[in-house]
Each structure stands twice: as C-alpha cells, then as structure tokens.
Structure 1
Amino acid sequence: MATKKILVVFGATGVQGGSVVKAVLGDAKMRESWTVRGVTRDVSKPSAKELESLGAETVAADLNNTSTLKGAMKDAYAVFAVTNYWESRSAEVEMTQGKGMADAAKEAGVQHFVWSSLPEVKEHSKGVLEHVEHFDSKAHIEQYIRISGLPASYFMPGFYMSNIPGGMFRQAPPNNDWTFALPIPGSTPIPLLNTADDTGKFVKGILNNREKTLGKRIYGATDYYTIDEIVKEFKEQYPEAGKTAKSAELPHDVFKGIMMKTGAPEKSAEELLQNMRLMNEFGYYFGASLDESHSIVSDKLTTWKEFMQMAPAFAELK
C-alpha cells in the first residue's frame, strides 16, 4: 500500500485552516491518499480535539517561535499556511511568521506550499491606498516565497460573508430598518466567500491540480455581488423584514468613527476604510476574473442566498 501524503495545516483551529482540514478529511477520495496534520498552539483545547475526532493528527507549534516549525512539517508533502494579521496588527510580525513558515517548508522539502495571500494594494493603487497593511504584508510574503523557489500556489480569500449578517448589515436607528452601511456606493462589486465552508473546497482543488496551480493565484470567492444585489436578495429572502431594507453609503469620517467606537485604533480604522475603498476604486482583486479559479473546484460553492439561510443573525426572520 502506498504511503499517504501528509498535508500540514497551520491555523487548523481557525476559520480558513479548519475549513481545509474538514474539506480534505470529509472527502473519501482524498482520504485514500492524504493524511492531515493540524498545527495549533494548544493541542489540548476542544477545537483541537474536534479535529482529532475527524481523523487529523494535531501538533503544537508557535508561529512566533520558528524553532517549532521544522518539526511540524517533518515529512510533509504539502502545507497550507495562513497568518492572522489582526492578532498583532503588525505587518512586521505577520511577515516574520509567513517567511518563517516558508523557510521551514523549504528546509523540509515540501513539494506544494499553499499560501493564503492577498493582492498588493499600495503598489497597484499607485500609492492612493497606502495603508491596507493586512493585504500588503501577505503580498510581500508571497513575493518572498516566489523568490525562494519553494513550489507554491497562492489562495486569495475573498470578502468574508460572515462579516455581513448582524455586522455591516444590521438593524439601524431610528426606525430599526435593516441597513447595509459601508463607505462606498451600492454599485460596488464585492467577491464573497463563505470562508468556513468554502476555503477548503478551493484548497482541495489546488492540491488536486498541482501542476496547473503551481505559481498561480487562486481567487477564493463564489461570485462578485454588488452591495445593492446583496440587499435585493435579502429583501427577496425575507419579504417582511426586507420591506424597508436598504444600503447606505457612509461618509468616510462617519465610517471611521463607527470603527473607533467598536474599539479599533485610529490606524486600523483608516486601514479598514481604505480596504473598503479598494473595492470601489480599484476592485478587490484589481479586476481579476474568477472563472479560472472556479475551474479547479469540484464542490459547489456557497451562494449569498444559501449563506443567509444559515446566518444566526437572520435566524429570527425565517
């Protein structure tokens, strides 16, 4: 019997990493040829035990301690690597973590490194948007990986659908109308991703199409939806609650003020504002089509309508 290939998944108890673990172990065909090693800081926590119950091996490693990374990747064929900028709010920390994983993967002889990346905004916007740090830091890690010669593919997650229900799209005063409020026009297209369920579908496609995806960016989104289309489908799904549902374009200073009231430092509030502006002024993926990325995915991707039906914030509207 042939030895199974080992897939190492960093951030295995997080949203993206957890999706990859569940997608691979939930696929009978992939289980024939792959085993999964989930990496987390604490293998004793319930979320790690849940992964073990699915059939994953779990190992402890810390992205801030590069000496722990080599052991986590021992004998690995493929690695899914992801970082969480918002944990430190530091590009320097994130880039150190990403480069550390890439260096350890190269030393371990990994044959397919899948990096959760994002587009470089400052350069492509010609300096108009110079503070979208959580995109640019991941893009700089991608550049480092490309120069290193490590065999890699680049998963580019879209806009999290989970940010919308009850967050950006919520009941608002004075009339408690459902309002999708962002500092950009309603005609702005947003590439939506059901991150928890669909990240793994894209990564499975990357792993199953190694030769086709090496060196390529895979855009992780179901489709582009405008803000107005998102509201329209909400109104159709929930006719009673949706009678007065609407989109609202917030002035930039108002949006920043709201972010700061929820606890974001001013620097982060400006970063989030520029992140929103990116979608309107340049495009989240700078105009890239999703077609080629969809061609490697064999599982059905989640639509916004389907996601709404699962969203706890909308549950009482059924």
Structure 2
Amino acid sequence: MSKILVVFGATGNQGGSVIRSVLADPKLSKEFKIRGVTRDPSKPAAQKLAEQGVDVVKADLLDKGTLRNALIGAHSVFAVTNYWEKASKEIEVTQGKNISDVSKEIGVEHLIWSSLPNVTKLTDGKLSNVPHFDGKAEVEEYINALGVPATFFLAGFYMQNLKSAIKLGEDGKKTLAFTFPGDTEIPLFEASADTGKFIAAILSSDYAKPRGKQVLGASGWFTPNEIITTFEEVTGQPAKYVQLPEEVFRGFLPEAFATEMLENFALIRDYQYYGPNAKESLEESLKILNQPPTSFKEFVQRNGPWE
C-alpha cells in the first residue's frame, strides 16, 4: 500500500514542483500517494492536479482542525508557507507551528520544512529586518525542539525575481540594478523547476532517514556580471549591470518593504546568503540530486520573450 505524501502549496512554485517531480519518478510515484493541500480545490490548477491522481484537499494553516484532516495518515510532508500573502512574521510562524504540532500529534515520520537562514542570528543583529527569512528559521527551531523527524530545505534567490528585475533602461539597454558590486555571488534557484528535484532526492536518499539536516537549494553561484553576459548571449539584447546606492534603490521600493529588501541584499553581499561555509554546504546538497539543476542560461532560454 502506498504511503501518503502531503504537499502544502500544491499549486504554488515549490509545492507544484514537488508534485510534478514525485509523479514523474518511477520509484517515488509507486511509493507515495500524493495529497495536495490548497486553499481552493475548485481552482483550475487544483482541478488539473486532481485529474493527475492527486488527492486535493482544502486546509487553513491557522486552523488545526483542517490541518488534522489534511495530514491524517500522512507518512511524509512537504510544508511551505507564503510570507508575502499576509506580510506578517507572526502569522507565518503560527502557520508553521500549527503544521508542526499536528505532524507531531499524528506521528508524521518525515516533515520536510521549507526554511531559510535566521538573518538576525547569523549577522549578530546587524541585519534584523528580514522577517520573511527569520520566521521560517524560527519554525525550523521549533520543529527541532518538538522532536518531529525533519529535513530542512533552504531555497536560494529565485531566478524568477530576475524576470521582473531586468528592465529596459533609458539608454535602450536592458538593465539589472542591485546595491552590491557586480562580482557578488548569488545562489540562484529555479523554484518551479528544481524544488521537486531536491525534495525527490531527499525522499529517495539517505535523507529519507530524517536527522534534522539542512539541504540548500540552488543551481550554483552567479554574479550580476555573469547574469548580464548570459542574458546578452541568449537573447541578443544589449544589457548592463548597475550598482545603485542604497538610498537611490530605496526610492524604487514600497516603503513598507524597503528596509527588508535592502537588508536582504546586504545578506547576499556580506554573508553569502546562507552564512558560513555556504559554498561547501551547497556543493554537498547538489551531490544528492539525481537530475542536474537548472542553469541561468536554461532559465533565460525557457522564459522568454524578455520584452
């Protein structure tokens, strides 16, 4: 009899990728029956999953009763929350703790939590305004303290963000602008294509024996200069990178999120996004993959036109 794998955010970038990868894997598709959790099972994306054999269920992450219904009988769980839906760390932490509590209560054997570094702790308080990272990290700490068997997946900088970040400049060139130097290394990640590759590897490797380990999710390290060079090669469009002063960049951002975004850039510049030993840790994480991750060149090729 197949074990039940519950996937939260079933129609989103990460959850959707997990479902596609497990369904496509000859071994995992037989080992697991997928239950996809979404807020609205009637939406076309959810209905499409149901047509593929996914048991689509509705749950409210702030309601433990609906979470019990979603998780009952689950062997493994992939859990991801969306900070930007409410832009509240308190709400996101409560959602994560609720999933953790119910997982503990019903005896889930493997909880894979989509986490991120605790920026405040990592930087000794120098960068204390990145709640969309810190909240997920707090839930990771809670899961460990609760004793739920778990693996933690830490996604890198979304390549999808570059789709909106590369804009046409007044000089007619496509322009990418951040606040750090052009040789700063960024751990780029194609969430919709590659989350599933990592989670499938976790489910089918030694990580299936959960011991609280972290798996970093990125294709590798890419600098803005390399991003622009690749963009020009693939699209044939002239492009450039511009390092902007923080106060200038702040003027382009909504005030409510400006400090958070600028500190996020500082995390990339000064702490390699993941903190100490980031390169070595990512190298170890990439070794578990059964399929190569998406390069930025492939992302540009697949996501045109870049108008």
User: Which residue number in structure 2 is paired with residue 280 of structure 1?
Assistant: 269
Q: Is the 8 A contact 1:169 1:180 kept in 2?
A: yes
Distance 1:57 1:95, change over 3 A: same
Match of 2:297 among 302, 305, 314: 305
Residue number among 203, 207, 211 corresponding to 1:207 in the alignment: 203
Partner of 1:219: 216
1:212 & 1:36 partners in 2: Cα distance? 19
1:184 aligns with 2:180: yes
Runs of 4+ in structure 1 deviating by more than 4 angstroms, as ranges, are none
* Separation of aligned partners in 2, 1:224 and 1:257: 28
RMSD: 1.2
Aligned to 2:193: 197
Q: Percent identity?
A: 46
Paired residue type of 1:203: I
SS at 2:27 equivalent: helix
Return the alpha-carbon distance in structure 2 between the equivalents of residues 211 and 47 of structure 1.
29
CA distance in 2, matches of 1:15, 1:232: 27
1:9-88 matches, within 5 Å, as 9-88=7-86
Deviation at 1:42, TM superposition (A): 1.1
Give the counterpart of 2:2 among 1, 4, 13.
4
**How far apart, CA to CA, are the structure 2 residues paired with 1:80 and 1:176?**
44
CA distance in 2, matches of 1:213, 1:272: 33
**1:291 partnered with 2:287:** no
Match status 1:171 vs 2:168 = yes
Q: Distance in 2 between matches of 1:44 and 1:135?
A: 31
Counterpart in the other structure of 1:112: 110
Residues 25, 55 of structure 1: 8 Å contact kept: no
- Corresponding residue for 1:267? 256
Aligned AA (1:251): P
Alpha-carbon deviations, 1:260-309, whole Å to 9, x = none?
Answer: 2xxxxx23111011101110011111141211111211012110000000
Query: Aligned partners of 1:150, 1:115: CA distance in 2, in Å?
Result: 11
Aligned to 1:263: none
- What is the CA-CA distance between 1:51 and the residue it aligns to? 0.9
Unaligned regions of 5+ residues in structure 1, if any? 261-265
Q: 2:252 — aligned with what?
A: 258
CA-CA distance at 1:138 after TM superposition: 0.5
Matched with 1:236 is 233
Distance in 1 separating the partners of 2:43 and 2:152: 29
TM-superposed deviation, 1:212: 5.7
Q: Quick check: 266-275 or 99-108, which moved more?
A: 266-275
Which one-letter code corresponds to 1:285 in the other structure?
A: Y
2 CA distance for matches of 1:76 and 1:211?
15
Question: With structure 2 as the length reference, what TM-score do the two structures score?
Answer: 0.96
| Distance (Å, rounded) in 1 between the aligned partners of 2:19 and 2:70 | 15
Counterpart-to-counterpart distance in 2, 1:81 and 1:99: 11
In the TM superposition, residue 211 of structure 1 has moved relative to its aligned partner by: 4.7
Measured in 2, the distance between the counterparts of 1:91 and 1:294 equals: 30
Counterpart-to-counterpart distance in 1, 2:272 and 2:210? 23
1:92-135 deviation per Cα after TM superposition (whole angstroms, max 9, x unaligned): 00000000000011111100000000001011111111101100
**Contact 2:197/2:291 (8 A) holds in 1:** yes
Which range moved further: 155-164 or 289-298?
289-298
CA distance in 2, matches of 1:36, 1:222: 26
Compute the displacement of 1:28 (Å).
2.2
Local SS of the residue matching 2:253: helix
Question: Whole-Å Cα distance in 2 between the matches of residues 54 and 162 of structure 1?
Answer: 26
Tell me the distance in 2 between the aligned counterparts of 1:313 and 1:90: 34
> Which TM-score applies when normalising by structure 1?
0.92
Unaligned runs of 5+ in 2: none
Structure 1 contact 206–213 (Cα < 8 Å) conserved: no
